[in-house]
Amino acid sequence: MHFYVYLHLWRNKRYNIMFNSVKDLEASLIENFASEIRGELVFPRDATYDNARKVYNAMIDKHPGMIVKCVDVADVINAVNFGRENNLLVAVRGGGHNGGGLGLCDDGLVIDLSGIKFVRVNTSEKTVRVGGGNVWGEVDHATHPFGLAVPAGIISSTGVGGLTLGGGVGHLSRKYGLTIDNLLEADMVLADGSFVTVSANQHADLFWAIRGGGGNFGVVTSFKFKAHDVKTVFGGPTLWPIEKAEEVMEWYHEFIHNATEDLNGFITTMIIPGAPFPEHLHNKQFCGIIWCYVGDLEKAEEIFKPILAMNPLFEHVGQMPYPSIQSLFDGLLPPGLQWYWRADFFSELGPEVRAQHLKFGSNIPTPLSQMHLYPISGAASRPGNEDTPWAYRDAKYAGVIVGVDPAPENAEKITDWCKKYWEALHPYSSGGAYSNFMMDEGPDRVKASYKNNYDRLTKIKRRYDPNNFFSVNQNIKPKNN
């Protein structure tokens, strides 16, 4: 190790400074590093810096000291070693969608995986190999011609990395489980720079930990997923005036968990902001359900009869290619909006809970702010709470409230509504939240979210990342305190 780095480490220890700043590193160290990297290094002085440090949530404004745009596994290994040897704070960026901006950090090093993209479909095995920096739309695009799909979320620009490592709830959850239930194997670069492949038969402890434990254990450079026969689905939104929210939610709770597993539907309180919806709906508050049926299309109309018997004010359900339902809301939610997130798991939608949804759903502060409840039933509820770190398989919903708006001056307004909505519902929650729907709620919330799995995660963290090198995430500490 270079003398200069020793000096920094000594100074940091003495003054209790945790990390070096990239800008204080000697130029020769950075030059050596640059010579080991095939991708691009981006610094604050570069014209491309502001673009490179942008993430999906415009509320996040972090200034890394250096961004390494990795193009292969060797780049990732070199970046991990450089970060560790120089005592830098390191963030790993997949799709950059995380609400809390956990793909970025201030001062330190960002390992940006967006240059590690590939999707290889194996039609005989029905498996898909995906790069650590892909987004879901790219996976859907590659698998669709073969009539295959991997369970993911509901927006196609979300990163495969973050969504998978946190769990992955979406349109196919009831039929085929969470994304982690379809993960077969992953290639990883660990904190010591070593490279491993993890699966049920190799590093089984690590394989268990990454199926919900987030980016705490290493950088995943490639995922291998099980794919399913999904080509054309029958789905879309049904909307009721917000005044009917309590009635619709009561019906939905009974209906969805007893429906065929071919059917998924997440329920929301929302505003219809404008086109492509008809004008008479614009800027009104609704209770909506977004459906996705993956069964026999000839039976679809029969399946939807009880839904349409609830007399939605508006419905737009019908056949569409799976990638279309996956990108249905992409246009409404482009990158660059302000987002504030709060989340919880719920088991019930009792009268008090429904009353709060009516109250806050009637006072949505901006057209894009919304609440979603994703059902955890069918295949998503079959694994036990301890089979993966995702500890709430027995809850009925993964809930999320998001305050969203393009205008930074509305940041306080959307944050305030989101927090108050969450505070009103939290007493009725199951305790923790789905980690991918959280923002920055601190260590107690992380523990609550992993519940009985937290200790096991801590032990695995201690084994593979004892110095908490991967700390910019919903952090699992190597020490259990």
Ligand X SMILES: Cc1cc2nc3c(=O)[nH]c(=O)nc-3n(C[C@H](O)[C@H](O)[C@H](O)COP(=O)(O)OP(=O)(O)OC[C@H]3O[C@@H](n4cnc5c(N)ncnc54)[C@H](O)[C@@H]3O)c2cc1C
Given the rule CB under 6 A, which residues bind ligand X? 55-56, 91-99, 102-103, 113, 132, 153-155, 158-159, 161-163, 165-170, 214-215, 219-220, 333, 436, 472-473
CB 41 within 8 A of CB 68: yes
CB 317 within 8 A of CB 236: yes
Q: How far is the CB of 113 from ligand X (least distance, A)?
A: 5
Nearest 5 degrees, angle CA 142-CA 148-CA 151? 95
Residue 154 or 249: the one with the smaller Cβ distance to ligand X is 154
Q: How far is the CB of 156 from ligand X (least distance, A)?
A: 9
How many other CB atoms are found less than 10 A from the CB of residue 270?
23
Residue 219 or 425: the one with the smaller Cβ distance to ligand X is 219
Q: How far is the CB of 41 from ligand X (least distance, A)?
A: 19
Task: Pull the structure tokens for residue 270.
Answer: 């929302």
Q: At what angle do helices 454-464 and 443-450 cross, to 10 degrees?
A: 110
- Entry field: residues in the chain: 481
Residue 244 or 437: the one with the smaller Cβ distance to ligand X is 437
How many other CB atoms are found less than 10 A from the CB of residue 243?
13
Torsion of CA 292, 295, 300, 305, to 10 degrees: -70
Cα separation, 214 vs 392, whole angstroms: 15
Q: How far is the CB of 119 from ligand X (least distance, A)?
A: 14
Residue 215 or 365: the one with the smaller Cβ distance to ligand X is 215
How many other CB atoms are found less than 10 A from the CB of residue 254?
11
Q: How far is the CB of 397 from ligand X (least distance, A)?
A: 13
**Would you give the DSSP letter of residue 159?**
B
Cα separation, 462 vs 216, whole angstroms: 11
Residue 238 or 471: the one with the smaller Cβ distance to ligand X is 471
Sequential DSSP letters for 114-146:
TT---EEEETTTTEEEEETT-BHHHHHHHHGGG
Q: What type of residue is 230?
A: V
The residue among 174, 190, 165 whose CA lies nearest residue 233 is: 174
Q: How far is the CB of 126 from ligand X (least distance, A)?
A: 22
Residue 92 or 303: the one with the smaller Cβ distance to ligand X is 92
Residue 96 or 375: the one with the smaller Cβ distance to ligand X is 96
Q: What type of residue is 245?
A: A
Q: How far is the CB of 236 from ligand X (least distance, A)?
A: 16
Q: How far is the CB of 415 from ligand X (least distance, A)?
A: 16
Residue 250 or 330: the one with the smaller Cβ distance to ligand X is 330
**Would you give the DSSP letter of residue 329?**
T
